[in-house]
């Protein structure tokens, strides 16, 4: 198996950044986080999954919001 040539066969959902950009911008304004951070946030919300991160500031940024259920701090696991 060649990782680069066989990547399309992996069970991975591909979502273009352009599909997340609007939500990421709204999240950035709401949480005062970078667009880069908020792209991950927007992906977690869009896929209804939990994003596990070691970036504690990001988790704290959403702690008091409805987004809280989408984020978990790695250090708490």
Domain ranges of the chain: 17-76
- Average pLDDT over every residue of 13-37: 91
- Average pLDDT over every residue of 21-28: 94
The pLDDT of residue 59 is: 87
Q: Determine the Cα–Cα distance for residues 70 and 30; give it in Å rounded to an integer.
A: 15
> Which residue, among 43, 46, 45, 74, has the nearest Cα to 59 in the 3D structure?
74
For 29-73, how does the pLDDT look when each residue is reduced to its tens digit (9 = 90+)? 988 889 998 999 999 999 998 989 898 888 888 888 888 898 899
DSSP 65: S
């Amino acid at each position: 198996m060649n990782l680069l040539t066989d990547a399309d066969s992996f069970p991975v959902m591909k979502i273009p950044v352009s599909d997340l950009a609007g939500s990421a911008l709204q999240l950035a304004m709401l949480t005062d986080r970078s667009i880069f951070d908020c792209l991950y946030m927007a992906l977690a919300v869009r896929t209804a999954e939990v994003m596990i991160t070691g970036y504690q500031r990001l988790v704290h940024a959403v702690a008091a919001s409805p987004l809280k259920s989408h984020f978990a701090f790695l250090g708490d696991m």
